[in-house]
Chains A and B, each alone.
Chain A
């Protein structure tokens, strides 16, 4: 059995994990474990921009950014964390530029900025140019740049190591177990601290902008270890996914002037959000599209609407949106300069995740008690700066700001912390899981169960939700979980056994779907991305609180945690 010893382990090499690694490895022995080669991480697909009140194009203030974030999140945002994020956004964007990030530029040579959904000046008066961007490749540039800095700094990587288990002793984190994908060997990593930065879980849904590998591994691993997940019922559907494929078309397309049109050619967002129109927050636009489709005003009565860029200057489209132009041409055979693009809402972002405080320490209860040595940052974490609905450009800010804070904190922590002993047989659980998959008696395949899960979740736990459907979904999940018990792998080999990894990933998706649906059923209100047709109003008296979901003997048990409200009292949310 291979055992590796480090001061700290960071699981995940997207923007959050790499940013943390840069900080933590300055004074400590750190290893980054990632199931993908770092530059393959999904941060690289982020398109539109990273929000920061630089004020390069027009006056802007971090307080306005904070207000927009809180209001955008339908007041479920922890305001103390949002304040930190919006303040530090400014210095971290400068830091990214210093690292070499090739931002697009203003004529004076400053970082260029553009409008994005829900970002406003003077507390909601009008859209503001706040999204710092590098064409529509902002995430690619962030991932490349931060990885380049890791090379410069000599960060230690274990690439293509798939983490399957968190190890704890005496109530503290003490390492992880991982499969080395190339050989199939199990490795134990023993450390004083562990950080999860494993990204999102969009593959619960059929139509999604998320990578095939975004299966919520970190979240599910924490949950299996008996720690809670927070606010998982809030899952963002981005309004503009390429029809049937879910591939994202950035909100920047609307930031640059794009318009949504229904089957009658109407600019329908005027009816739903008179001030911000097409640049209203995503939850509202996705509901509006779904409503238009339901009422028969999809294109040709079908289940999609159009994103119209044809009135924009061809040069704007080619210079500022080159990648999405390429996607639309490659996958739909459409030239967006000349033709409208068929779009539908696509499952995009997990607002919920592993609960943390603003130092990225994982917390375990409603009193926000931290777990010694355990950290989380990025999309897998819930700080919570996005509340019930994330604003565009705020995830990239989140991963950079809280990745950095978490990395710093972890680096400090390991200087004085003691190394906890490993559990007696650290790989025992993983070996049991593997044995079951290899030697199972059944005939179920991973692909068939996953396909059913994704279709049912899309149908019953998507943009609109209602009690009867959610209850039905729980029954379906019980069925899928029992089918999972009869999965038998065809691949009996050790090297690059992708089927085995996909089986682990499917187990994660099933667990997270159950948490999502259970939380959604209990939350009898509509807030942000969680819309209950049977409870159409937000209910602050009962539900201005975070959900904490625990795994109790295979069942989901819910508790609730208060929201931190400092500057902005909840108001009705209009745009």
Chain B
């Protein structure tokens, strides 16, 4: 066990006029996650600290936040890999509701706007639809998205234009556009071709670096742009 120093940006609208930094020190194992550190602070030092978290191993997408300046999942970074004090802030670009909790509703509204489900225009077969391993591979990368928001809130185009659908919604559109079974491509390409669609992307690559699932977001966006240009996938 070793003492680890944290510096957390706190804000509670019931109490604080302004966000402010608080310093904490907790005993942790070197193999502990940043999430373990925050949980220890919350449990032992300050019960008012608020964050979302659930799975604790990078699958549920609850705990994206800015850790030492970068968008990360708190449960997927080990304390020992970071310089101290470990600074923690809520994601940028959404309204802060309390401490590390931001209003995700605008994010999900964009997700819903890209028709995020398989569009079927033909009757379902009795057994499974066939899809070759190559066809399945075509959209594998974008099926991994956990809707954590790390990519969208790392994107300068999104910071300057909150109406931009953002990388996460494009990733979702890609997942269906390149699925051989989907029959809703035209409608989806239309949304992507809107002025708040893919063309807002300036290929800054922040999203690729931020994605905790290792999705090549910029490549996916590029493929969607090409599909629009060609009028088909």
* Chain A positions 222-270 with a Cβ under 8 Å from a chain B Cβ: 244-245, 247
The verdict on A459 contacting chain B, using a C-beta distance below 8 Å, is no
Q: In the bound complex, how far is the Cα of B15 from the Cα of A493, in angstroms?
A: 9
* Chain A positions 468-519 with a Cβ under 8 Å from a chain B Cβ: 489-491, 493-499
Chain A residue contacts of B54, Cβ below 8 A: 36, 40, 42, 211-213
Choose from A44, A110, A212 the contact partner of B128 (Cβ within 8 Å): A110
Chain B residue contacts of A495, Cβ below 8 A: 12-14, 50, 97-98
The verdict on A151 contacting chain B, using a C-beta distance below 8 Å, is yes
Q: Are A105 and B133 in contact (CB under 8 A)?
A: yes
Chain A residue contacts of B46, Cβ below 8 A: 490
The verdict on A102 contacting chain B, using a C-beta distance below 8 Å, is yes
Q: In the bound complex, how far is the Cα of B51 from the Cα of A117, in angstroms?
A: 37
Q: In the bound complex, how far is the Cα of B43 from the Cα of A446, in angstroms?
A: 7
Tell me what chain B mostly uses at the interface: helix, strand, loop, or mixed. Answer: loop
* Chain B positions 48-101 with a Cβ under 8 Å from a chain A Cβ: 48-62, 76, 78, 97-99, 101
Choose from A36, A141, A149, A323 the contact partner of B117 (Cβ within 8 Å): A149
**Residue interface bits B169-180, CB-to-A below 8 A is 1, else 0:** 000000010010
Q: In the bound complex, how far is the Cα of B129 from the Cα of A387, in angstroms?
A: 34
The verdict on A158 contacting chain B, using a C-beta distance below 8 Å, is no
* Chain A positions 96-151 with a Cβ under 8 Å from a chain B Cβ: 97-100, 102-111, 134-135, 137, 140-141, 144, 148-149, 151
Q: Are A105 and B132 in contact (CB under 8 A)?
A: yes
**Closest residue of A by beta carbon distance from B103:** A182
Chain B residue contacts of A211, Cβ below 8 A: 54-56, 60
The verdict on B44 contacting chain A, using a C-beta distance below 8 Å, is yes
Chain B residue contacts of A39, Cβ below 8 A: 60-61, 146-147
**Residue interface bits A203-225, CB-to-B below 8 A is 1, else 0:** 00000000111000000000000
How many residues of B are counted as interface, with CB atoms below 8 angstroms from the partner's CB atoms? 63
Q: Are A109 and B130 in contact (CB under 8 A)?
A: yes
The verdict on A568 contacting chain B, using a C-beta distance below 8 Å, is no
**Closest residue of A by beta carbon distance from B36:** A245
Q: Are A331 and B146 in contact (CB under 8 A)?
A: no
Q: In the bound complex, how far is the Cα of B139 from the Cα of A152, in angstroms?
A: 21
The verdict on B143 contacting chain A, using a C-beta distance below 8 Å, is yes
Kindly provide the distance from the CB of A541 to the nearest chain B CB, expressed in whole angstroms: 43
Give the residue among A104, A109, A134, A494 with the most B Cβ atoms within 10 A. A109
* Chain B positions 94-153 with a Cβ under 8 Å from a chain A Cβ: 97-99, 101, 104, 108, 112, 116-118, 120, 124-133, 135-136, 139-140, 143-144, 146-147
Known: A45-B60, A499-B47. A102 touches B133 (CB 8 A): no
Q: Are A41 and B124 in contact (CB under 8 A)?
A: no
Q: Are A331 and B78 in contact (CB under 8 A)?
A: yes
Kindly provide the distance from the CB of B52 to the nearest chain A CB, expressed in whole angstroms: 8
The verdict on B226 contacting chain A, using a C-beta distance below 8 Å, is no
Q: Are A148 and B136 in contact (CB under 8 A)?
A: no
**Closest residue of A by beta carbon distance from B47:** A490
Q: Are A94 and B146 in contact (CB under 8 A)?
A: no
Kindly provide the distance from the CB of B200 to the nearest chain A CB, expressed in whole angstroms: 24
Known: A39-B146, A97-B129, A211-B54. A102 touches B136 (CB 8 A): yes
Kindly provide the distance from the CB of B50 to the nearest chain A CB, expressed in whole angstroms: 4
Known: A109-B132, A498-B51. A182 touches B42 (CB 8 A): no
What are some 17 contacts across the A-B interface (CB < 8 A)? A42-B60, A45-B55, A98-B128, A105-B133, A105-B136, A109-B133, A109-B135, A140-B144, A211-B55, A245-B57, A331-B31, A446-B43, A493-B48, A495-B12, A495-B13, A498-B42, A498-B49
**Which residues of chain A have a CB within 8 Å of any CB of chain B?**
36-37, 39-42, 44-45, 93-94, 97-100, 102-111, 134-135, 137, 140-141, 144, 148-149, 151-152, 182, 211-213, 244-245, 247, 323, 326-327, 330-332, 445-448, 489-491, 493-499
**Which residues of chain B have a CB within 8 Å of any CB of chain A?**
12-15, 31, 33, 39, 42-44, 46-62, 76, 78, 97-99, 101, 104, 108, 112, 116-118, 120, 124-133, 135-136, 139-140, 143-144, 146-147, 176, 179, 181-182, 214
| Known pairs A44-B60, A104-B136, A499-B48 / 16 extra A-B pairs, C-beta < 8 Å | A37-B108, A94-B127, A97-B129, A98-B125, A99-B117, A99-B118, A104-B133, A140-B144, A141-B143, A212-B39, A212-B53, A247-B57, A326-B58, A445-B43, A493-B12, A496-B98
